[in-house]
């Protein structure tokens, strides 16, 4: 019963975020960055230097753009990571969810995902990450540094995404 209540609460929070963010995210033109054929119209300010990556894991191809900033303690920290995933194994929302959660291997204390809809498609939202099925075989993941940005920023980035023609 407690698990159902938590799932319902998570879904309600996700819906509230969608309702709050659907209008403003579409209205802002933003930087217009394209990753793997997906156009993102909004990115939060303060992102660092970019690097692009193409790789494959477990029969899924990734196109990724990562923004990094110098870490005050030395080295670099990831500000944001936009990934476009493609592969036959991403055939449905359930297939994406099961594969992606296993791929991420994030402890539940670090990322608790709740179901949401992004442009009418199934997705899952955590405090710092959103991933969703664009269409069978194509998915997107948005991840931000949770110390610098919040769930609203994650949702705005996701809602600004449009697949190129």
| Local structure of residue 43 (DSSP, 8 states) | -
3-class DSSP assignment, residue 42 = coil
Nearest of 138, 25, 141 to residue 78 by alpha carbon: 141
3-state helix/strand/coil string of 95-157: HHHHHHHHHHCCCCCCCCCEEEEECCEEEEECCCEEEEEEECCEEEEEEECCCCCCHHHHHHH
State the pairing for strand pair 38-40/114-118: unpaired
pLDDT of residue 109: 83
Give ∠ CA 7-12-14 in degrees, rounded to 5: 95
Which has more confidence, 53 or 26?
A: 53
pLDDT tens for 92-118 read: 999 999 999 999 998 888 889 999 999
**DSSP track, 46-112:** T--EEEEEEEEETTEEEEEEEEEEE-TTSSEEEEEEEEEEE-TT--SHHHHHHHHHHHH---TTT--
Per-residue b or e along 51-77, where b marks 16 or more CB atoms closer than 10 Å to that residue's CB: eeeeeeeeebebbbbbbbeeeeeeeee
Kindly tell me if the per-residue pLDDT of 18 is higher than 90.
no
pLDDT tens for 112-152 read: 999 999 999 999 999 999 999 999 999 999 999 999 999 99
Q: Locate the domains of the chain by residue range.
A: 2-163
Topology of domain 2-163 in CATH is Protein Transport Mog1p; Chain A (3.40.1000)
pLDDT of residue 32: 77
């Amino acid at each position: 019963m407690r698990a159902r209540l938590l799932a319902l609460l998570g879904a309600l929070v996700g819906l509230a975020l969608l309702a709050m963010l659907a209008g403003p995210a579409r209205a802002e033109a933003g930087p217009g960055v394209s990753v793997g054929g997906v156009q993102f119209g909004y990115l939060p300010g303060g992102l660092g230097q970019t690097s692009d990556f193409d790789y494959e894991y477990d029969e899924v191809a990734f196109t990724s753009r990562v923004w990094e900033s110098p870490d005050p303690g030395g080295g670099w920290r990831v500000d944001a990571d936009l990934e476009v995933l493609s592969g036959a194994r991403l055939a449905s929302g359930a297939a994406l969810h099961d594969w992606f959660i296993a791929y991420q291997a994030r402890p539940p204390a670090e990322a608790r995902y709740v179901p949401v809809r992004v442009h009418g498609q199934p997705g899952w939202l955590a405090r710092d990450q959103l991933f969703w099925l664009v269409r069978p075989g194509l998915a997107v993941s948005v991840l931000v540094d949770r110390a610098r940005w919040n769930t609203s920023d994650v949702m705005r980035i996701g809602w600004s995404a449009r697949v190129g023609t």
